[in-house]
Amino acid sequence: MGGFSAINAANGWLIAALGISVVFFGLLSLAFIVSYFPRMIAWWNAHAKAPKYFVPWVKSLISQPLAKPTSSKATVQSVEPGELDDAEEALRLLTAHMGEPFKLPRLIEVAEQRGLARVHSTINGLLIKGTMVGGPDGLFRWAIGSERKSGPQGVEVSRGST
| Residue numbers 37-76 binding another protein by CB under 8 A | 37-38, 40-41, 44, 58, 61-64, 66-70, 72-76
How many residues bind another protein (CB under 8 A)? The answer is 76
DSSP secondary structure string for all residues of the chain: --HHHHHHHTTHHHHHHHHHHHHHHHHHHHHHHHHTHHHHHHHHHHHS---TTHHHHHHHHH--PPPPP-------PPPPHHHHHHHHHHHHHHHHHH-SSB-HHHHHHHHHHTT-TTHHHHHHHHHHHTSEEE-TTS-EEEPPHHHHHH--SS-----S--
> Which is nearer to another protein, 45 or 96 (by Cβ)?
45
> Which is nearer to another protein, 19 or 92 (by Cβ)?
19
Question: To the nearest whole angstrom, how small is the minimum distance from the Cβ of residue 128 to another protein?
Answer: 6
> Which is nearer to another protein, 96 or 153 (by Cβ)?
153
Q: Tell me which residues in 96-155 interact with another protein (CB under 8 A).
A: 103-106, 108, 118-121, 123-124, 127-128, 134, 136-140, 154-155
> Which is nearer to another protein, 140 or 142 (by Cβ)?
140
Question: To the nearest whole angstrom, how small is the minimum distance from the Cβ of residue 132 to another protein?
Answer: 9
